[in-house]
Amino acid sequence: MTAMLANIANQTEPWRFLVVDDEPDLVEVVCGALRHEGWDAVGAHDGREAVSAAATYQPDAVVLDMMLPDMDGMEVMRRIHTSRPEVRVLFLTARDAVEDRIAGIAAGGDDYVAKPFSLDEVVVRLRSLVRRSARGRAGRVASPDCLVVGDLVLDEAAREVTRGGEPIELSPKEFALLWFLMRHPRQVLSKSQILSEVWSYDYGGQAHVVELYISYLRKKIDAGRPAMIHTVRGAGYVIKAAAP
Amino acid sequence: MTAMLANIANQTEPWRFLVVDDEPDLVEVVCGALRHEGWDAVGAHDGREAVSAAATYQPDAVVLDMMLPDMDGMEVMRRIHTSRPEVRVLFLTARDAVEDRIAGIAAGGDDYVAKPFSLDEVVVRLRSLVRRSARGRAGRVASPDCLVVGDLVLDEAAREVTRGGEPIELSPKEFALLWFLMRHPRQVLSKSQILSEVWSYDYGGQAHVVELYISYLRKKIDAGRPAMIHTVRGAGYVIKAAAP
DNA sequence: GCCCTACCTTTGAGTTTCCTCAGAATCGCG
DNA sequence: CGCGATTCTGAGGAAACTCAAAGGTAGGGC
């Protein structure tokens, strides 16, 4: 019965992730962000737990801290791969980790992000990791990664934005912010939500920067044309196709 | 794991919530509001009780005070998640709590409201919390959550209201009030009921503001068109589809 | 018909929220 | 090291929101 349900559900079931870090709060925060994307996520807090969770939970990918109390991250990956080599790994590393060793990992199909990271960044990497993965999921077309809202197009791979065909230059933060907005079109996003997803998860600053960057974006994207980025007073911001 | 699958089959049953706070009155008030929505709710008053209640009662989500006599709120969440990671958590926090840590949580699958909150707000958050998780399980069918009464449509995510296709701009309070009315169509709601659900639960002001905001809403929603918001003298207000 | 009560609406003040404009710190790059 | 681009902070001001008070209006009992 249980097996049957699992099989049926497999057609449309969301991606599954295992998040491993020795800091429980971080695990919770990341799991939360992944669930917010509509994915499933569970946590583990050391290497042993991670290996056994990977066996029972069967995740599509693992978010794995390099530094664990009982085991090196690489070692954990190796053990998981002995039984399920198709599992992808996204490493979390300290900013000052040995860079070339990490680069080797990235080349092998897996990836890494340096702490402190923004939740948005983790979501990005996992998306592309799983998309690249051999496991072809039903209903997912390998289309070039373009977000489209009205006449606004964001090409993820080319890091290019155009409105009505005209190219628009954006700074990294502007790009990240626009991307987050375009991933949730016609949906009001609060400033704190934007702050914690687009800025680093431990960012201590004010929600004021969001207003500022929204204003930058408006200058570049809405400049003259019908507005796409709207303020919802007391709630947040929305992006949607300009009214006809 | 099994519990997760069991939940898929459970869609038709009402949602179940566990409310945890060390103040018994608050627990009762919140439980009452949830039951009023047609959901199931039980209370707990400390961390230990919460963890055991979560195990036996198997709620879809937990409303959890950050400050409990015996245990930190995060700790309670962590313990509940070890056996049932799919359970969503809505935190209750003091207004002056460390904002960025909380923001991180809010960004993910979980959420928080600051005390003092309006009951309406709690209901809102729980709905979106459970909806997100249900959506995650069922696939990614982003069916927009719309309340519909007659030709009046309220889109929760976009925070957008239209009547007969025409968009209507509303302030946060107006929106909250209309939302409460539309959640209980064809049902007379007393002023004190509205006051305690839409305004903060410890709001000290007069019931007079309700009349005021009803008048604002009428100006925007009924303006010229057949009336949808009706006064029931001595009883309260109703919203229903305009008579043909 | 008259009066009392309950409700509606206008007005204005206090507050909150948001936008914009500099300018300071930081980063990347030659 | 120096330059430009990027990111962030702070202050000022504008707009919007909330709410209370006061006067106006409609219903219902007598």
| Cα–Cα distance for residue pair A67/A127, rounded to 1 Å | 23
CA angle B117, B100, B135 (to 5 degrees): 65
Determine the pLDDT at residue B187: 93
Grade residue A96 by pLDDT with cuts at 50, 70 and 90.
low
* Torsions phi, psi for A185 (to 5 deg): -70, 155
Grade residue B139 by pLDDT with cuts at 50, 70 and 90.
very low
Name the closest nucleotide to A235, judged by C1' and CA. C17
Determine the pLDDT at residue A7: 38
Determine the pLDDT at residue A39: 84
Determine the pLDDT at residue B46: 96
- Indicate the SS3 state at residue B168: strand
Grade residue A72 by pLDDT with cuts at 50, 70 and 90.
confident
A243 or A233, greater pLDDT: A233
Does residue B179 surpass a pLDDT of 90?
yes
Distance of CA A161 to the CA centre of its chain: 19
Work out the minimum CA distance from B60 to partner chain A, whole angstroms.
14
Q: How far is the CA of A98 from the C1' of C17 (A)?
A: 46
Determine the pLDDT at residue B29: 93
Kindly determine whether residue A197 and residue B157, on different chains, have CB atoms separated by under 8 Å. Answer: no
Grade residue A193 by pLDDT with cuts at 50, 70 and 90.
confident
Determine the pLDDT at residue A144: 58
Least confident of A2-6, A235-239, B54-58, B222-226: A2-6
Look at the alpha carbons of B92, B93, B99, B101 in this order and tell me if their dihedral is positive or negative: negative
Q: Residues by CB within 7 A of strand D: list them.
A: A 169, 171-174, 199, 203-206, 208-209, 212-213, 233-234; B 169, 171-174, 199, 203, 205-206, 208-209, 212, 233
CB atoms within 10 A of CB A125: 21
Give the mean pLDDT of A193-219. Answer: 87
Burial A43-55 (b: 16+ CB within 10 A, else e): bbbbbebbbebbe
Stated as kind and residue range, the H or E segment containing B91 is strand B88-94
Nearest CB to A38 within list B77, B103, B135: B135
pLDDT digits (tens, 9 = 90+) for B51-71: 999 999 999 999 999 889 999
Nearest CB to A187 within list B104, B133, B158: B158
3-state secondary structure B112-151: EEEECCCHHHHHHHHHHHHHHHHHHHHCCCCCCCEEEECC
B49 or B200, greater pLDDT: B49
**Who's near A48: CB < 8 A, 6+ residues apart?**
A70, A71
Work out the minimum CA distance from A235 to partner chain B, whole angstroms.
7
Determine the pLDDT at residue A229: 97
pLDDT digits (tens, 9 = 90+) for B18-30: 999 999 999 999 9
Give the mean pLDDT of A28-56. Answer: 88
- Are B36 and B89 in contact, with CB atoms under 8 Å apart? no
Q: How far is the CA of A210 from the C1' of C15 (A)?
A: 22
- Are A146 and A153 in contact, with CB atoms under 8 Å apart? yes
Least confident of A95-99, B121-125, B202-206: A95-99
pLDDT digits (tens, 9 = 90+) for A146-156: 888 999 999 98
Q: How far is the CA of A236 from the C1' of C14 (A)?
A: 24
Percentage of chain B exceeding pLDDT 90:
53
Give the mean pLDDT of B83-103. Answer: 70
Determine the pLDDT at residue B128: 80
| Cα–Cα distance for residue pair A218/A207, rounded to 1 Å | 17
Does residue B1 surpass a pLDDT of 50?
no
